[in-house]
Structures are given as structure tokens and as C-alpha cells.
Amino acid sequence: MSYVKRVLRMMFAWLEAGLDRIFTPACNPLYHLGALGFLYYWVVAATGIYLFIFFDTGITEAYGSIESITYEQWYIGGVMRSLHRYASDGMIAMMMVHMLREFALDRYRGARWFTWFTGLPILWMVYAAGISGYWMVWDMLAQYIAIATTEWLDWLPIVGGTIARNFLNPERLDDRFFTLMVFMHIFVPLFLLFVLWIHLQRVAKPTINPPRLLAGGTLLMLLVLSVVKPAESQPPANLDLVPSQVGLDWFYLPAYPLMDMLGNGAVWALVAFGTLLFAVLPWLPPLRRARQKTAVVDLANCNGCTRCAADCPYAAIEMGRRTDGRPFDRQAVVSPDLCVACGICVGACPTAMPFRRASELIPGIDLPDMPIRDLRERIHEAAAELTGDARIMVFGCDHGYDAAKLAVPEVAVLRLPCIGMLPPAFVDYVLSRDLAEGIVLAGCSEGECHNRYGVRWTSDRLARARDPMLRQRVPRERIETVWAPPVEGWTLRRRIAAFAGRLRKLAETDTGDRPGKAAE
């Protein structure tokens, strides 16, 4: 399992790196798979409403009405139908890649189990909605699917083994069947929306709309495809004949040939096993190394400022009523079940101030396994080892490129669980105390932080757009940020080398009174 995951992770890392260059990190489709799934859903819903206006429910009427939509008003109805089909397929494609990627990046365990687990009913419902949609056309494909599905359901002893008899010959089929199908095809997607809402309950600030450029490109692609290759029906259903050859939609219907090849019982076993495996995957080995201890609040230093709660990407921090009698309204309360120990809350805490001398460096919120006090000590140790005229201190994250490989006498590397854990005051501290000439902050790709908002919050803090802000006095030219996928070691190496060159040039003109340094 670990090997498979490693291979998948590398595959995604390379793909992401390539797509970063083509689409830019902000519009990389691999960073917006869930949002693209939503976009496809809305296209399916909107086109479905239009198609339903013209759809007739009935054994003979259904096929005729869809033919009329497709050919008599091809310029809109036909395009709507094609968009409906291709967007449905796109939804499956996005869902599958999204699922595979979350698996590869290990984002389905620990605090993230809930989101993974609630993906399971979504998977089932999307398939149920899609398959019931194919029935409604009542062409040869619909006939094949209807019979195969009912035979498959009949295999279960509890069903009674009589549903497939409805399709023995034309006399047995009545219009009520279409009423049932229409109900299913409308009700399931509506209910799906509710389940999607549940799916996102443990995701703070979820992104459900892709960037406009990506959405526009996707819609244009669907439109061009719909015009170039319109969706069409197969010959009308005829229960006197067997649909010998059918053009299958392989996104929705790959299980059907398996029913012919392996039998209905085997497909039930596969489906049951697959569902069970999906459901229990978050708790299966290989288990994570001893789980990091979750963030803890130190009330003596917490003033209830709410920044940690606002920045937590997992909604693991809530502001509760004050319990220690100090004159603040609220206090941070960490939910250990939701916390992944990324440390972003520590980076947001205004009391994580390395300049503190009067009291011990204990912030309002901290990671017990990597207290911010230790980080200050590590900085001093690393600085003591640095030599040269362009000393650089690199703060890397656990999920980007392993910057430790770049450590040389002029470059010290300190790793954090997430770059968002670094309070901006530490940048100020390193430069003002002359512990290095420059600082590099290296994290995941700009569009895709492993911890969702680590890169974004850090960029905003440095740009003084989000609290806690980097102090004005800190010379910006001595800070370099490198947001790159983990496979792009060369980018980091190149940027550090260029940064060192710039620092040397600065040294030539530097009077020794850097703003921060002077202030200290």
C-alpha cells in the first residue's frame, strides 16, 4: 500500500509541477478537482432542468421527446443534452482523480477521515443518478442497462427475483416505470447536494468554485465538445430484441460487462468489498507513525484574539467562554479529533514572539512535539554553524522539497510541519539579530498547500495583509519565498543561489545598519 501510494504521489507531484507551468499554480486543475466536480454538477443540474421541460414520460414518448430535443432544436436542446452527458462524465472523472489524489497524499486518515468517509455515499449517489438518467432515454442502451440492473438486483434474495420480469416483453412494461425513473433521477441529485454539504462540514473555508479562468476554459471545452460530437441516442428500445452491441458510457457503466463476464454474484461481492475497503481505509495499516500531539492552549498567554481559530484550515479551533477568570471574553479551544498538528495556529498567535526576554517563550497556542521555544533554540544553533558572506536560513515544510538536502556552510535549513507555523516575528528576529543575511521560506506549491492555507496565510502575513503581520522595518529584499511542488528541488536550488547573489550585492552597499538590526 505504501509503495502504491509513493508511486501515485510522485506521479501527481510531476503532473502538478507540469500543470503549474501551463495553467499557473492558481489555476492548476489538479488543485481544484473538488471545485471542478461542483462546476460539472451545476452544468448537469442547469441543463437537466432545461431537458426536463421537454421530456415526456412514457414508453413510446420518452425516446421520441429526446429525439425531438436532439434534432429539432439541435442548436440549444441538442447542445444542452450533450452538455448534460459530458458534464456528468466529467463529474465522474473529477471525482475519481480527486479520490485517488487524496489517497496518494494521505489525506484520508486521522482528522480527515470524516471527509473521506462521506465521499462514499457521494460516489454511490452520482452513479445512481447517472445510471437512472441513461434508463430515461429508453433506447437500446437503456434497455440493456435496465435489464442488466434489474437482473443484478434480483440476485439478492431479499429483492425477490421478480423485477427483471418487467422487461420480459413489451406488454409487461408500463409508464409508471418512467415515473419512478424520473423521480430517482431528480431526487438523487438533489439529495446529493445535501450530502455534499455534509462532506464539507469539517473543511474550513472550502473552495467550491474553481478560479474563473479554469471554469471558463472547462465550460468552453464542454461546449466545443457538445457541438463537435453531440450526444445521440442509440436505436429505440425493443424488448423483442436483445441489445447485442451497445455503445457504453465507460465512465458510468464499466460494471456491466463484468456482470456478463463474472456473474451478478461476483459483481455484488466486488461492490461490497470495494465499498467496505473504501469505508475502512482511514483505519487500515500502514498506520501513521506515532501521531503528533495536537495543539494545546496556554491560557496564561492566550488573550482570545481569535487569529488561531480564523487561520485553522481544519476548523479544529473554536473560541469558547473564558474559564480562567482573566479579563478576556474568550479563549481558544482545540478539538483534538480535528487537529492535524500542522502548527498554522502557532504561526497566527501574536504571543509567539521570539524577542520575549522577561518571560519564557510560551505562546497562547503551541505544538507540544515542536514548541516554538525549541524553534528559537534551533535557529540559534543553526546560525552558529553558518559561515560566509551570504548566510541564508531556509525555513522548509514537511511536505515540500526536502530542503535539508541543500544545507551547505552558507545555508542552514530548519523544517516545520507547515510553513504557516512560522510566526512573522521570527523572520524579523533572525534578520534583526544578524543571525543570517537572508531568509528563504520554502513551502508547497502556491496553489496547493498540503495543509490548505499554510502558504496563503504566510504570503498574506509577509505582505502585511493578514495578522500577525511582518513588521514594517523588516527589509523585504532579504526575504525570498519559494512555493514549489516537492519534486522541484532544482527550483529551490536555483532560487537560493540567485538569492545569495542578490544578498552579496546588498552587502556591497550595506552600511551595516539594516533597519531591523538598527532598531535592535
Partner 1 sequence: MAAMLRWLGQAIIYAGMALWLGYFANRPVYTHLPPDQALIKLSVVHGAKRKGECRRRTKEELEAMNPNMRTPLDCPRERLPIRLQILLGGAVLYDASVTAAGLAHGGTTRVYQRFAIDAGRYELVARMVDSARTEGYDFERAGIIELSPGENFVIDFRAEAGGFLFDGRSVTYIP
Q: Site residues (CB under 8 A) for partner 1?
A: 19, 21-24, 29, 85-86, 89-90, 93, 144, 151, 154, 157, 160-162, 164-165, 168-169, 217-218, 220-222, 224-225, 228-229, 231, 239-251, 256-257, 260
Shortest spacing between CB 161 and partner 1, in angstroms: 4
Shortest spacing between CB 149 and partner 1, in angstroms: 13
Gap between the Cα atoms of 178 and 193, Å rounded: 23
Beta carbons within 8 Å of 261's beta carbon, 6+ residues apart:
none
Shortest spacing between CB 252 and partner 1, in angstroms: 9
Nearer to partner 1, 172 or 288 (CB): 172
Find out whether 337 and 401 touch, Cβ atoms under 8 Å: no
Nearer to partner 1, 137 or 345 (CB): 137
Q: What angle do CA 155, 159, 163 make, to 5 degrees?
A: 80
Shortest spacing between CB 55 and partner 1, in angstroms: 20
Nearer to partner 1, 246 or 436 (CB): 246
Nearer to partner 1, 43 or 421 (CB): 43
Distances in Å between the Cα of 72 and the Cα atoms of 67, 76, 79, 86, 341 are 8, 9, 12, 20, 59
Shortest spacing between CB 483 and partner 1, in angstroms: 18
Shortest spacing between CB 165 and partner 1, in angstroms: 5
Burial 53-71 (b: 16+ CB within 10 A, else e): eebebebeebbebbeebbe
Q: What phi and psi, each to the nearest 5 degrees, are found at residue 479? A: -120, 130
Residue 423 preceded by cis peptide, ω within 30? no
Shortest spacing between CB 178 and partner 1, in angstroms: 20
Gap between the Cα atoms of 69 and 49, Å rounded: 13
Please name the amino acid found at residue 263. G
Nearer to partner 1, 37 or 110 (CB): 37
Nearer to partner 1, 91 or 334 (CB): 91
Nearer to partner 1, 118 or 491 (CB): 491
Find out whether 199 and 115 touch, Cβ atoms under 8 Å: yes
Shortest spacing between CB 265 and partner 1, in angstroms: 14
Nearer to partner 1, 210 or 313 (CB): 210
Burial 254-284 (b: 16+ CB within 10 A, else e): ebbeebeeeebeebeeeeeeeeeebeebbee
Find out whether 255 and 263 touch, Cβ atoms under 8 Å: no
